[in-house]
Amino acid sequence: MSIQEKLYPNVPPTKLRGKDEEFKPAKTSRFWLWVASFFFYNMLQNRFFAFRYTGEENVFEADKGTPTILFSPHCNWWDGIVMYNITHRIFHKEIRLMVEELNRFPLLRRGGAYSVNKKSPQTAMKALQYSVDVVGDLKNMLCIFPQGIIRPPFFRPFKFQTGLAYIAQKACARYGKINLVPVAVDYCFLRDNRPEVIAQFGKRIELTDPNIDRKELTAILENALTEVSDEQFKTIQKGELDNHKFVFKQHLKWYRKIEQTLKQIDLPPVADI
């Protein structure tokens, strides 16, 4: 009898499996970015009814010459694909995203992924240093899951590893300023028979002091993500989604169209027997 895999292990995959992996940078090209954009977009369309988002002005209103880092919770397999579509279809940037065990999915490098091996501190440091390098190229947008491990949906409290603060400090020192934007992402059923992706961008944090205490900065970032995630939860709870924009929204299936038509028919009242 096989042992069931634990849903949310507390050990990162590279440590759990104990396999060495050399650092591999992203390796994009126009052709492969087109393939990735088409593929990842269609994956979402095939599984979700809609992709809504709000708060994007927190990114668009920032200084265009300042690098930006998006950071978000990591609760399931879809998170990387959602972040890819956020960077490409909302902000029109190339994603740069750390992926553990990239040797199992080498084609992801063509879309902007690069490896991180948490078994080896030296190799992990290469990923952090590479992050500082690529975020300075303004055609890129760096996306980080700072918990460092997949956690259950709505997991609290957010506890970040220090990698995000390290990257932000080093990038601030090199480029003068860095923007950090928390992103809450939820997957939920609304009025359709398929779930929706909902993304909300929180208040932008402009880091101008690279000498800020790393633990203090980490706490600030944890609180920022908690704030926007809790705000999104209340918004969904109240059903107040009219101000959200759409990356896509599907047409109703034929049986849903029939349902909507039937709802509009006024039937005569049924007489009491």
Whether 98 contacts 110, CB under 8 Å: no
The pLDDT assigned to 208 comes to 97
In angstroms, how far apart are the furthest CA atoms of the chain? 82
Is residue 260 helix, strand or coil?
Answer: helix
φ/ψ of 154, rounded to 5, equals 65, 20
d(CA 24, CA 114): 6
User: Using CA atoms, how far apart are residues 213 and 194, in angstroms rounded to an integer?
Assistant: 44
Helix (H, G, I), strand (E, B) or coil at 249: strand
End-to-end C-alpha distance for the chain, whole angstroms? 61
pLDDT of residue 6: 81
Which pLDDT score, from 0 to 100, does residue 2 have?
47
Judge whether 94 and 87 are in contact, CB under 8 Å. yes
Six token digits for residue 61: 């209103």
Identify the pLDDT of residue 269.
66
At 81, give phi and psi (nearest 5°). Answer: -70, -40
Beta strands in 72-115 (DSSP E): 94-99, 113-115
205 φ, ψ (degrees, to nearest 5): -105, 120
Strands 205-207 and 178-188 turn out to be: antiparallel
Report the run of H or E that residue 206 belongs to, with start and end: strand 205-207
The pTM of the full predicted model, rounded to 2 decimals, is: 0.90
Coil, helix or strand at residue 209: coil
From the list 143, 68, 148, the residue with the least C-alpha distance to 108 is 143
Q: Domain 13-263: which topology?
A: Glycerol-3-phosphate (1)-acyltransferase (3.40.1130)
| Dihedral, CA of residue 46, residue 48, residue 54 and residue 56, to nearest 10 | -30
Per-position DSSP letters for 76-87, written without gaps between them: STTHHHHHHHII
Average confidence (pLDDT) per 10 residues, the chain, 273 residues: 68 77 92 95 96 97 96 96 98 96 90 90 90 97 95 95 96 97 97 95 97 97 98 97 96 66 67 59
Q: What are the residues whose beta carbons fall under 8 Å from the beta carbon of 181, sequence distance 6 or more? A: 58, 59, 68, 69, 70, 71, 201, 202, 203, 204, 205
